[in-house]
Amino acid sequence: MTGSKAQYIVSVLQSWLGPALLAVVVLLGGSSRPDQTSHLILQALSLFVLLFYFRPLSRVDWASNRPLMLSLFLIGLLWPFVQTLHLPAYIWTLLPKRDLIVEGWNLLAIEPKASQPISINSEDTRTAILGILPPLAIFIGISLGASNYTARALLWKIAALGMLTALIGIFQVLPTGNINLQLHDARITGASGLFRNINHQATFCLMTLPFISALATCYRRNSSTEDLTQAIKIGIAALFAICIIGVLAAGSVAGYLLLIPVLAFSFLIYRDRDTVQTGSMPMAVTPALLVIAAILLIATSPVLDGLGVTSLDDGPLARAGIWTTSLRIIADQFLLGTGLGTFEAAYRLYEDADIVTTTFVNHAHNEYLELVVELGLPGVILLGLALAIWSKQFVKIWAEKFDRIYMIRRAASVAILVVLLHSLVDYPVRAPAIAALSAACLALMTMPSRRGLHSDAENADSIDVIRKHVRL
């Protein structure tokens, strides 16, 4: 094999590994439970991808916010690792609630070790650290791909994945006799699709809608009357409709509420191609107003519940009750946190023992509170930096229009917004599939700008490529 051919193969792999891994993670990573064989498979594949990109990563000149975003990923790996390092006993016993752990050991006649880690359950923390590998590999893989080519290829892949999980969800709620189409748990009621949680199904379908809108925009101005061109346009419309039905079938109240701003953003993406100006700051005003309206809608809705027995009253299993207890944990553990992935164990140390039932709390149903509980002050800093980067890029993407892939970048920004809003009342990024798509969106948002707009000739080239695949 000649050097040029080997270099070509490496270049192709470099452009395709990230999107391919994204598809695999979405197909296998629909459950937020970390102790599963499928998760171990995804983590092993992600490690292989990271090793493949190690040398290209060292040679790339990272532009824009990529270095900072990559640093946040690495710190997100490093700090939980530090939480698993053992402290001398005289220091460890000074940490809050560790006396209860020692008392439990004494009751069980277990000899305490001379040293203990910051994390109250280091095994859960190590498992959670491995869970960061898939989104990290996808972020690096998509970032190092040929930006214009990879971004346009992702449009079709994300749309297809949204359609797949939506269709599975739709069939799950149709009369199917004795056929069980639930992929994770037969006791789930509702259209969960590839996911174990109907809320996560709704979130994923919502994340795909702006990408389908961007895909439609790429072909809307193509006036060709060829059958293939018209078929593509009809197919894109069908994709959009199927994903909306997927959201409605899921039965998630949060999904219903978020559908309104997502459709508004999707309309902005679709219609903005008609304008000829290069973009301006006023273009960012409408999205900003939509963000504010969406936050108010999610935060003040009196009907939002998603934990089965949960509501917004002040009961111990209601969101308000869980958040109150979570704030007590934060007040105690704010400096160092309890360890990534240990919320369930930490919550048991603080809940009222007199009202404990067979139903237990495994998540805070507010990702921001849960991260602060687990990571402490470093988690607050990481979260603040990540939100600052997203906000800066969001405004920039919606205020400018000279980027060749600006519509795709806008779609990515809206998809991340869906996750940020839903995280106020749920834990969507705990599902590897949603974390993976979020990482892909971050990579798209931080891609270096490419001057010039998509032309009709480019759209025609894309149709020619599809035609060749169809013939094959």
Domains in the chain: boundaries: 3-84+119-471
Indicate the helix (H) or strand (E) that contains 115: strand 115-117
Q: Are 343 and 370 in contact (CB under 8 A)?
A: yes
Burial label for 176, CB within 10 Å (0-12, 13-18, 19+), is exposed
Backbone φ, ψ for residue 403 (5° rounding): -70, 135
| Tokens, residue 26 | 């979405």
**Three-state DSSP class for residue 447:** coil
For residue 219, the model assigns a pLDDT of: 75
Distance, C-alpha 197 to centroid of its chain: 14
Q: How far apart are CA 118 and CA 324, in angstroms?
A: 23
**Three-state DSSP class for residue 116:** strand
For residue 180, the model assigns a pLDDT of: 64
* Amino acid at residue number 119: S
Q: How far apart are CA 27 and CA 460, in angstroms?
A: 31
Q: Are 404 and 375 in contact (CB under 8 A)?
A: no
DSSP state letters, 76-98: HHHHHHHHTSEEEHHHHTTSTTH
* Amino acid at residue number 248: L
For residue 366, the model assigns a pLDDT of: 92
Where are the alpha helices (H) located in 110-197, listed in sequence order? 122-130, 133-144, 147-172
DSSP state letters, 227-239: HHHHHHHHHHHHH
Average pLDDT of each block of 10 consecutive residues along the chain (472 residues)? 66 81 94 86 94 76 69 89 88 79 72 81 93 94 74 87 93 67 68 90 96 85 65 86 89 88 90 50 52 57 41 60 89 92 89 64 89 95 92 87 77 95 93 96 81 43 41 35
**pTM value?**
0.85
Q: Are 267 and 209 in contact (CB under 8 A)?
A: no
| Nearest by Cα to 379 from 118, 203, 98, 199 | 118
Residues 6+ apart with CB under 8 A from 293: 261
For residue 24, the model assigns a pLDDT of: 96
For residue 186, the model assigns a pLDDT of: 58
Q: How far apart are CA 462 and CA 247, in angstroms?
A: 29
Where are the alpha helices (H) located in 400-455, listed in sequence order? 406-422, 432-445
Q: Are 80 and 375 in contact (CB under 8 A)?
A: yes
Length of the chain as a residue count: 472
DSSP state of 390: H
Q: How far apart are CA 76 and CA 71, in angstroms?
A: 8
Q: How far apart are CA 344 and CA 328, in angstroms?
A: 14
| Tokens, residue 105 | 């050991």
For residue 248, the model assigns a pLDDT of: 87
For residue 291, the model assigns a pLDDT of: 58
